[in-house]
Structures are given as structure tokens and as C-alpha cells.
Amino acid sequence: MQKEDTIIIGGGPCGMACAIDLQEHGINPLIIEKENVVNTIYNFPTHQTFFSSSDKLEIGGIPFITEKQKPVRNQALAYYRDVSIRKNLRVNTFERVIDIVSSDNNNFRIETKNEKGLNLTYIAENVIIATGYYDQPNNMNIPGEELPKVMHYFKEAHPYLNKNIVVIGGKNSAVDTTLELHKAGANIMVLYRGDDYSKSIKPWILPEFDSLVRKEIVQMEFNAQIQKITHEKVIYTAGNKTKEIDNDFVFAMTGYKPDLQFLKQAGIQIDEETGRPYYEPETMETNVPGIYVAGVVASGYNNNEIFIENGRFHGGTIARAITSKG
């Protein structure tokens, strides 16, 4: 059984920022990450460009310098790897936290399983949960969603030349996916439950997308409610009519959500309407003394509230709170 002062669950930019801030306060925490470092960014589309400029993604005072103002995925991966090495962060990758249990003397017992299937146990005085939200797709809960042809993540468009693709959704991820698929020669139908373009679409990509729709290069149907997916078709309703479209692959870009069950399992109170965990903004400490939240997981269902840009500062708040306890 390994004893730690502080364990950080989640090795994304916000979890890493927490570790660096704790180091500056004399604590050398252990990060436990179920996949690889900055796994969310790793799972971004291959050619993803960030919404944020590179300086707003910096952590630990290490400059993130890129030729263009907004970096792409591979540049971010290289930057955060470099930060991890230069700051000598202690990170256990490919190790999943199974349970957090209050133990004796105000400590916590953390149960994990690593990539070799070994069960490990840690004791920690403090736990920081920085698990993000990208690992939990918003399922449509319709027949056929489990088919291999249905994907909630988009990596790259190359395999889909001349394939009939349905993109479900109408926000940034759906628009980005559609544009990439068009460039690769796919035949695309976009089905969106809204009655107009989402106001959240990045303004610099909407004109290109709208042009493809107006020219009927990309087919798009608003007010579309997906009913069923089969091996050959997507069945949906729109305007009180049931329609179907022949289809090879489906990209259900329906958004993502935090793993609230994991938080509840740790005893953290959750607002059922917003999905927001209870925490004190001045300390980021939850209703369970000694457990803190950092990054987008603190925003509940509203993942437009906290980004790397502002979530990276949670570490300083938490570090001050932990060290002030004496």
C-alpha cells in the first residue's frame, strides 16, 4: 500500500497544472491517468485546430510557442509531453481508479487497476478529481446505436471516400466533422434536432459549411429526430414525417458529459439538474473534506463554462487550500 500526500485523478492539462502548483507549494503529488497523458487531446481529430491561442494553453510557466496563433493537436501533444518531462511530474499512465473510500485519520483509500490487470491500493490525505468529460458521450438511446458503424468520436476522414455518411448534430464537432469528410470525398447528410444553425458554431467555419449546404453538396435536415439505425439505413422523423436514408457510417456528434457516477461514488453531492458537483469556489473543495475538483468536471453539464484557459488556474487555488490546512 503506497502512501501519498495528494493524488490527482486525471492527467489532462488541468490535472498537470494542479501537480505543478502543488510542487511549488512543497508537495510532490502523484497523477493517476487511465490512459495516456492529455488523453482528451490525443483523442481529438488528427487535424484539430484549437479554439484558444497557444499562450492561453500554457501551464507551469513554460511558454507554448507556435508559428500560428492557434495550435493544432500534434503541437499541443508535444507541448504537454515536454511540460511533463521538464517539471518531472509523477504520472502513472494506463491505470484506472476504481474506487475512492474514506479511510482512518481523515485519509482516503484509492483502489486502482493498471494495464497489466494488477489491483493497487494507495492512501492519500487529499484527492483532486480532474477527470474532464470527453470520455462520456451523450448517447441517443435509440435502437442500433450500438452498431459498429456508429461512432461518437471522429478521428480523420480518409477512410470514407465515396461512403454515405450521416452526421448527427449541429454544433462545432458536427460541423468540423462534416468539413473534413467533404474534403475526403464522402457523401454527407447532416441531421440536427435544432431548427437553425447553432449560435455556438465558430464564426470562421460557419460560412464554408453553410455554402456547402446551400449548394446541396452537403444535405442537411433541421428538426430531425433520430428513431432507429440499422445496418443499411438511418430512420428519423422531421416535420411529422418519418424518413430514411441509406447509410454506411454514422458519426453521432452529440456531445459529452462528466462521469457523475464516479463523483457520487466518492460521496460528492451532485446537482441533478446541472450536473455540477458541490464545491467551494474559494478552495475547489467538495462536500467531502479533502476531495477537490479541477477543470471542466467542476462545470457539470455546461462544458462551455470551463476550458483549459481557465481550468488551468484551479491548481493554484487548490494548492493554497491544501497547504493552508497545515
Q: Indicate the pLDDT class of residue 112, thresholds 50, 70 and 90.
A: very high
pLDDT score, position 20: 97
Q: How far is CA 316 from the centre of its chain?
A: 22
270-287 confidence digits (pLDDT tens): 999 998 999 999 999 999
pLDDT tens for 23-49 read 999 999 999 999 999 999 999 889 888
Q: Which residue has the cell 446541472?
A: 274
pLDDT, residue 301, reads 83
pLDDT (0 to 100) of residue 147? 97
Quote the mean pLDDT of the chain: 93
CA dist., res. 204 & res. 261, Å (int): 37
50 has pLDDT over 90:
no
Contact 65, 72 (CB under 8 A): no
For the cut 70, the answer to whether the pLDDT of residue 326 exceeds it is no
Report the alpha-carbon distance of residue 297 to residue 132 in Å, rounded: 5
Comparing CA positions, the residue from 324, 325, 275, 319 lying closest to residue 14 is: 319
| pTM for this predicted structure | 0.89
Q: For the residues 53-63, what does the mean pLDDT come to?
A: 94
Mean pLDDT of the 240-247 span:
95
Least confident of 8-22, 46-60, 185-199: 46-60
Taking the CA atoms of 13, 260, 36 and 70 in sequence, report the sign of the dihedral they define. Answer: negative
Handedness of CA 270, 271, 277, 278 (dihedral sign): negative
Percent of the chain with pLDDT over 70: 99
The whole-number pLDDT of residue 134 equals: 80
In 1-25, which positions are buried (b, 16+ CB within 10 angstroms) versus exposed (e)?
Answer: eeebebbbbbbbbbbbbbbbbbbee
pLDDT bin (cut points 50, 70, 90) of residue 132 is confident
pLDDT in the model for residue 100 = 95
Q: Lowest-pLDDT range, 146-150, 180-184, 254-258, 304-308? A: 304-308
What is the pLDDT at residue 249?
A: 98
Mean pLDDT calculated for residue range 134-154: 93
- Determine the Cα–Cα distance for residues 178 and 157; give it in Å rounded to an integer: 9
Structural Rg of the chain based on CA atoms: 21
Provide the pLDDT for residue 228. Answer: 97
Q: Let me know: does 229 contact 235? Beta carbons within 8 Å.
A: yes
